[in-house]
């Protein structure tokens, strides 16, 4: 298993829809093992394949939940059903989201409190579960990656403006930027 570099916003692989997985083989399972290792080294709660530069519809997660889902897992070619999203302003204290591909930053965003997700395990068997609360947020965030969407693309006007300014100031927003979990300083301060 290998910890892979995490691709930073601006790289085209993050901003286009990922392709369907068609072969449930050993190389798929190797990729998924690398994704788990990278997610753990980065202290993430989820990681989508495009975030390590692979344009395939797969994400991994590690999140203890009271829903009928494993605390750690992965899903391939998922289909997401999303509940209602409140139109109120998001709460910066309770609803701030972050992303390993927008390292070190977080911005508030409303998400649905409930989702249903269905897809396949690494052997091609169908799997599905419902998710609530923050676990539902994780599902929505990771699923978005597979459609080439980052959470910063969903921010309201006020927060979007701040995010765009910061991304520019960091020199991101173009191809080729990455960071290496376990080597580069942890962008979200998990090393401290």
The residue ranges that bind Zn ion (CB under 5 A) are 99
d(CA 105, CA 182) in angstroms, rounded, equals 18
Q: Is there a binding annotation on residue 15? A: no
Instruction: CB nearer to Zn ion: give 5 or 24.
Output: 5
- Asked whether the beta carbons of 96 and 108 are under 8 A apart, the reply is yes
- Asked whether the beta carbons of 107 and 91 are under 8 A apart, the reply is no
| 57-93 burial code (b ≥16 CB/10 A, e <16) | bbbbbbbebebebeeebbbbbbebebeeeeeeebeee
Smallest distance from Zn ion to CB 124, Å: 26
d(CA 146, CA 152) in angstroms, rounded, equals 15
Residue of 37, 74, 95, 142 with catalytic role: 142
Smallest distance from Zn ion to CB 101, Å: 5
Smallest distance from Zn ion to CB 25, Å: 26
Grouping H, G, I as helix, E, B as strand and the rest as coil, residue 81 is strand
Smallest distance from Zn ion to CB 40, Å: 15
Residue 178's beta-bridge partner residues?
A: 7
Instruction: CB nearer to Zn ion: give 35 or 99.
Output: 99
Told to judge if 142 belongs to the known catalytic residues of this protein, a careful annotator would answer yes
Cβ within 8 Å of residue 66, ≥6 positions away:
132
Q: Is there a binding annotation on residue 99? A: yes
Instruction: CB nearer to Zn ion: give 99 or 117.
Output: 99
Instruction: CB nearer to Zn ion: give 99 or 155.
Output: 99
Number of H helices, E strands in the chain: 3, 9
Question: Catalytic site residues?
Answer: 142
Residues in binding site for Fe cation: 99, 141, 145
């Amino acid at each position: 298993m290998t910890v892979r570099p995490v691709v930073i916003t601006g790289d085209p692989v993050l901003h286009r829809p990922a392709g369907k997985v068609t072969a449930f083989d050993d190389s798929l399972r190797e990729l998924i093992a690398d994704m788990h290792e990278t997610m753990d080294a980065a202290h993430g709660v989820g990681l989508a394949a495009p975030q390590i530069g692979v344009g395939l519809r797969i994400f991994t997660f590690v999140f203890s939940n009271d829903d009928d889902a494993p605390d750690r897992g992965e899903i391939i070619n998922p289909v997401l059903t999303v509940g209602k999203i409140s139109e109120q302003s998001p709460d910066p204290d309770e609803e701030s989201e972050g992303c390993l591909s927008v390292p070190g930053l977080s911005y508030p965003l409303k998400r649905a409190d409930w989702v249903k997700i269905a897809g396949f395990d690494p052997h091609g068997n169908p799997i599905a579960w419902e998710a609530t609360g923050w676990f539902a947020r994780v599902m929505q965030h990771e699923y978005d990656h597979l459609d080439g969407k980052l959470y910063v693309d969903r921010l309201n006007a006020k927060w979007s403006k701040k995010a765009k300014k910061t991304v520019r100031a960091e020199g991101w927003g173009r191809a080729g930027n990455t960071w290496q979990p376990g080597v580069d300083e942890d962008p979200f301060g998990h090393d401290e």
